[in-house]
Amino acid sequence: MAELGFGTRLQRAIADTSPLCVGLDPSAALLEQWGLPDTPGSLVIMGESVIEAALGQVAAIKPQVAYFERHGSQGLAALEHVLARCREAGLLSIADAKRGDIDATMTAYGQAWVGQGSALRADAVTVVPYLGLGAMESLFIRAEEQGAGIFCVVASSNVEGRAIQTAMTGNGSVEATLLADLGARNQRYVERSGESLGPYGAVIGATREAGTLALSTFGGCFLVPGFGAQGASASDVGSLFAGTATGSVLVNSARQILNRGPAVAELAAEIFRQAQVLRDALN
Amino acid sequence: MAELGFGTRLQRAIADTSPLCVGLDPSAALLEQWGLPDTPGSLVIMGESVIEAALGQVAAIKPQVAYFERHGSQGLAALEHVLARCREAGLLSIADAKRGDIDATMTAYGQAWVGQGSALRADAVTVVPYLGLGAMESLFIRAEEQGAGIFCVVASSNVEGRAIQTAMTGNGSVEATLLADLGARNQRYVERSGESLGPYGAVIGATREAGTLALSTFGGCFLVPGFGAQGASASDVGSLFAGTATGSVLVNSARQILNRGPAVAELAAEIFRQAQVLRDALN
């Protein structure tokens, strides 16, 4: 068992820095805007600039795996480099992979992304639950053992998934049952470990309304897309997560930061500005 | 626009060979059973043996991406090699990636897996719909343009996902609405192209019951896990897909074939046996 779980580590990072997470989304369009060719080497350059600008100002960095994967094995080599640099720098990393499969396949994804010996080791990885949380046990066990975190997409920031996420099971809406399942896992972890937050996080779009979602008793961290470019303000985020545990809300921002590159000073200034806005809104 | 879409190409491959798809699942346990070290090079060896054994006997091969991804960039390099070998050999490949995200991120996944210039080019890729089919348009457009296919997980073979998949939206169950949406996309494709099947496939576990799912009017192909090791028989598959279009059902089998390795002759013999059983059950 690692000394501290991911929930606690993220909570401390948020307290030490800010509730901001920088999304690392090196799309072809953004690389062009930075004056970089669309190559694996440019993925590394953008990653290193973002890490340099973000260090000490944000709680975590979230590379979107798809933008690396589009360069195949060489893109993943760039991602390995970026993730290793985060680790060296002491900056938490969240691999936004949205993996979701069953049983032995999830064991393999755990080997890919979670813990010691993983080629693509990140502090946390995102998952999608369409095949059921219960089918991901092997990944969850590995994450707990290794002090890593899981962020499960529960309520996405885009509208197209809402019909599925709000569909009704025999025990409430899909999103409510997922939140309850993850929350129960956090509760069991907290009871065993004596920590105050568990490693099971939920992705909740900033564009959502709390509605029937029991956010305040969740016992884990929230990863919040949809801030800034996607339309939600810091005060929207503050309202949505009112009453949740201190330091449990991590707000992702990508485009409105990355658009300011390639100069590290410009990136850092925008990160500083957004971090301050979020600190004010969430405290 | 490619000359023929994926649905038609798969239907022809099934007619020319069999409804069998060999799942390429190079887990650590299976590599050990084959007497191979758990290295990227062994992923290539297993892949080449399976391709050699399967060629001319099966309609497609389905590498499970997770087993390659656990070796990081080197694992994906092995997968690039295996996918290229399939293409050279004229064997259709389905990358079982179960990717699922939104908008520009799906564009990036398309760049990774679909069409000319993709590092990890496969003939089709699997997706999970938790964030909504409508959020994947950019991938779908690219797939149609490039003659590639999409297999969306609709009703999985495992039990843990059933609560979500059978939850009720305002328009019926989640799985029924997904099938209807994919079917409508196939219908539009068929009307435009004059082909008889569209490129939008559905993953339907062999362990399911047809129930309210409108399989016979779907207009695309089905990818069917759960056969063999996971418990469903060929006659279960035959019953489930009775009335669907000829050559639209592709049944995956992995463990019961790969367990027979590493000898190519043994793999080929088991593939021959299963292909015959499925031909009989589905004709």
Identify the residue among B70, B173, B258 best suited for mutation to test binding to A, counting A beta carbons within 10 A and taking the highest.
Answer: B70
Identify all chain B residues contacting A205, using CB atoms and an 8 Å cutoff. Answer: none
Q: What local confidence, expressed as pLDDT, does residue A201 receive? A: 98
Q: A264 to chain B, minimum CA–CA distance in Å?
A: 24
- pLDDT 10s digits, A43-77: 999 999 999 999 999 999 999 999 999 999 999 99
Identify the residue among A160, A203, A255, A258 best suited for mutation to test binding to B, counting B beta carbons within 10 A and taking the highest.
Answer: A160
- B20-24/B249-253 β-pairing: parallel
Q: Are A134 and A103 in contact (CB under 8 A)?
A: no
Tell me the three state secondary structure of residue A4. Answer: coil
What DSSP state is assigned to residue A39?
S
Element (H, E) at B252: strand B249-253
Rounded CA gap, B119 and B96, in Å? 15
Q: What local confidence, expressed as pLDDT, does residue A2 receive? A: 55
Cis? peptide before A262, omega within 30° of 0: yes
Q: What local confidence, expressed as pLDDT, does residue A207 receive? A: 86
Contact across the interface for A103 and B158, Cβ inside 8 Å: yes
Closest CA to A119 of A91, A150, A145, A97: A97
What token pair was written down for B101? 């995200």
Identify all chain B residues contacting A163, using CB atoms and an 8 Å cutoff. Answer: 132, 169-171, 174, 177
- Sequence ranges of the domains in chain A: 6-282
Rounded CA gap, A218 and A201, in Å? 9
Q: In terms of CA atoms, which chain B residue is nearest residue A79? A: B73
Closest CA to B46 of B54, B56, B55, B36: B36
Against a cut of 0.90, is the pTM above it? Answer: yes
Cα A250 to Cα A14, A149, A150, A175, A247, distances in angstroms: 8, 13, 13, 19, 8
Residue B283 has pLDDT above 90, yes or no: no
DSSP bridge pairs for B126: B151
B273 class by beta-carbon count within 10 Å (0-12 exposed, 13-18 middle, 19+ buried)? middle
Closest CA to B51 of B20, B24, B76: B24
Identify all chain B residues contacting A101, using CB atoms and an 8 Å cutoff. Answer: 64, 66, 98
Q: What percent of chain B has pLDDT over 70?
A: 98
Phi-psi map region of B255: left, alpha, beta (phi>0 left; psi -120 to 50 alpha)? alpha
- pLDDT 10s digits, B154-190: 999 999 999 999 999 999 999 999 999 999 999 999 9
Contact across the interface for B167 and A168, Cβ inside 8 Å: yes
Q: What local confidence, expressed as pLDDT, does residue A262 receive? A: 98
What token pair was written down for B242? 């009775």
Q: What local confidence, expressed as pLDDT, does residue A209 receive? A: 79
Q: What local confidence, expressed as pLDDT, does residue A3 receive? A: 83
Identify all chain B residues contacting A76, using CB atoms and an 8 Å cutoff. Answer: 69, 72-73, 76
User: In this structure, which amino acid lies at residue A2?
Assistant: A
Cis? peptide before B199, omega within 30° of 0: no
Q: Which of A76, A111, A174 sits opposite B164 (nearest CB)?
A: A174
Residue B239 has pLDDT above 80, yes or no: yes
Q: In terms of CA atoms, which chain B residue is nearest residue A111? A: B70
Contact across the interface for A112 and B66, Cβ inside 8 Å: yes
Residue B210 has pLDDT above 80, yes or no: no
What DSSP state is assigned to residue B208?
S
Contact across the interface for B111 and A76, Cβ inside 8 Å: no
Contact across the interface for A174 and B161, Cβ inside 8 Å: no
Rounded CA gap, B283 and A117, in Å? 48
DSSP bridge pairs for B22: B61, B253
Q: Tens-of-pLDDT digits for all 283 residues of chain A?
A: 458 999 999 999 999 999 999 999 999 999 999 999 999 999 999 999 999 999 999 999 999 999 999 999 999 999 999 999 999 999 999 999 999 999 999 999 999 999 999 999 999 999 999 999 999 999 999 999 999 999 999 999 999 999 999 999 999 999 999 999 999 999 999 999 999 999 999 999 998 876 779 899 999 999 999 897 667 899 999 999 999 999 999 999 999 999 999 999 999 999 999 999 999 999 7
Rounded CA gap, B50 and A62, in Å? 37
The answer to whether residue B98 is catalytic is yes
Q: In terms of CA atoms, which chain B residue is nearest residue A76? A: B73
| CATH number, domain A6-282, options 3.40.50.1220, 1.10.10.10, 3.40.50.620, 3.20.20.70 | 3.20.20.70
Contact across the interface for A27 and B104, Cβ inside 8 Å: yes
Identify all chain A residues contacting B99, using CB atoms and an 8 Å cutoff. Answer: 66, 98
Tell me the three state secondary structure of residue A152. Answer: strand
Catalytic residue among B12, B87, B98, B273: B98
Contact across the interface for B167 and A169, Cβ inside 8 Å: yes
Q: Which of B76, B79, B129 sits opposite A130 (nearest CB)?
A: B129
Element (H, E) at B184: helix B174-193
Q: B126 to chain A, minimum CA–CA distance in Å?
A: 11
Long-range interactions of B27-32: CB distance < 8 A, separation 24+: B27/A104, B27/A107, B27/A108, B27/B67, B28/A111, B29/A104, B30/B255, B30/B258, B30/B259
Average pLDDT over chain B reads 96
- A168-169/A172-173 β-pairing: antiparallel
Q: Which of B108, B111, B174 sits opposite A164 (nearest CB)?
A: B174
Rounded CA gap, B144 and B162, in Å? 30
Determine the number of helices (DSSP H) and then strands (DSSP E) in chain A: 12, 10
Residue B2 has pLDDT above 60, yes or no: no
Q: What is the dihedral of CA A214, A217, A220, A224, to 10 degrees?
A: 40
Chain centre distance of CA A249: 10
Identify all chain A residues contacting B98, using CB atoms and an 8 Å cutoff. Answer: 99-101, 131
Q: B34 to chain A, minimum CA–CA distance in Å?
A: 18
Rounded CA gap, B92 and B17, in Å? 12
